[in-house]
């Protein structure tokens, strides 16, 4: 029983101990096995193997079939990774909600946040996180310019990596008015568009820009060179939003309806 260091590290990041990794990999290689066979194959002491298998079952990596002896069956790696992802997402959502509900009001009170803030965001992750936050908070209108709505192309293009989260969120928005300006939208995405979303295309759309509720503005810029530094400009100043909206509208008038 052996796996690469990369896979071993990944399984441990999923929350498995050394013994749990050894037992799970043995089951993946051997299929349905008894505890004694798992102990022999994995090298996990027989005195510990039942506890280890019990924890693996609790974590959803294996299942058992009672009998004499009890047999243990591995779940497919695709299934367990999906389970881990869902578990993490649920934990993150719960934790994020708790932090925001308690600390955001205190932050706004103590720092006296005004409606006239403009600041820079460094790095793609920080920019996309702010974009998702703006979309979640939008109540009336969203205007967005983005190079493509082709999720497959986004996943391949390193400059657009993770933008698919923004596209997915746009497609599920439940507000009255959403306008999207893009250079490319595949037919399969067009069929998913709700009535509230209007899309127009033009030959080239540079960069990513968004205005929500005529109040918040986010512009994403990519630097030149090998490092491809990403810089975001965020503002919740109404004048900044008006300037961005005016520029968007000028492009929108010249674009082709989908």
Which pLDDT value is given to residue 119? 83
User: Taking phi first (over 0 means left), then psi (-120 to 50 degrees means alpha), and beta for anything else, what does residue 112 get?
Assistant: left
Per residue in 46-89, pLDDT (tens digit) is 999 999 999 999 999 999 988 889 899 999 999 999 989 888 88
pLDDT value of position 23:
93
Question: Which residues have a Cβ under 8 Å from the Cβ of 141 and sit 6 or more positions away?
Answer: 175, 176, 177, 178, 179, 212, 213, 214
CB atoms within 10 A of CB 42: 23
pLDDT in tens, 97-146: 899 888 878 776 755 545 457 888 888 888 888 888 888 889 999 999 88
Q: Which residue has the tokens 């693996």?
A: 56
In CATH, what class is 5-75?
A: mainly alpha
Give yes or no for a contact between 198 and 257, defined as CB atoms under 8 angstroms apart: yes
Domain boundaries, the chain: 5-75, 81-113, 115-257
Q: Which fold has domain 115-257?
A: Endonuclease; Chain A (3.30.870)
Angstrom distances, CA of residue 224 to CA of 107, 139, 143, 229, 245: 35, 35, 26, 7, 26
Q: Which of the pair, 228 or 250, is modelled with greater confidence? A: 250
CA distance 198 to 257: 8
> Is the pTM value of this prediction over 0.75?
no
Percent of the residues in the chain that have a pLDDT greater than 90, as a whole number = 32
For all residues of the chain together, what is the average pLDDT?
A: 84
Determine how many CB atoms are found less than 10 A away from the CB of residue 141: 16
């Amino acid at each position: 029983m052996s796996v690469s260091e990369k896979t071993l590290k990944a399984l441990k990041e999923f929350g498995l101990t050394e013994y749990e990794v050894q037992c799970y990999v043995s089951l993946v290689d051997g299929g349905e096995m008894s505890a004694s066979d798992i102990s022999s194959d994995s090298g996990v002491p027989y005195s510990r193997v039942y506890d280890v298998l019990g924890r693996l079952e609790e974590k959803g990596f294996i299942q058992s079939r009672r009998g004499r002896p009890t047999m243990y069956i591995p779940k497919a790696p695709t299934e367990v990774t999906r389970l881990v992802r869902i578990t993490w997402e649920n934990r993150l959502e719960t934790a994020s909600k708790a932090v925001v509900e308690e600390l955001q009001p205190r932050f706004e009170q103590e720092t006296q946040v005004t409606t006239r803030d403009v600041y820079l965001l460094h790095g793609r992750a920080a920019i996309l996180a702010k974009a998702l936050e703006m979309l979640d908070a939008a109540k009336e209108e969203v205007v967005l310019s983005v190079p493509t709505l082709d999720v497959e192309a986004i996943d391949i293009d390193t400059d657009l990596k993770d933008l698919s989260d923004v596209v997915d969120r746009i497609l599920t928005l439940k507000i009255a008015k959403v306008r999207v300006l893009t250079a490319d939208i595949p037919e399969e995405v067009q069929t998913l568009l709700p009535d509230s979303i209007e899309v127009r295309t033009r030959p080239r759309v540079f960069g990513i820009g968004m205005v929500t509720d005529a109040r918040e503005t986010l512009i994403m810029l990519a630097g030149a060179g090998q490092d491809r530094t990403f810089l975001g400009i965020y503002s919740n100043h109404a004048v900044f939003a008006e300037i961005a909206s005016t520029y968007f509208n000028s492009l929108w008038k010249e674009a082709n309806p989908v």
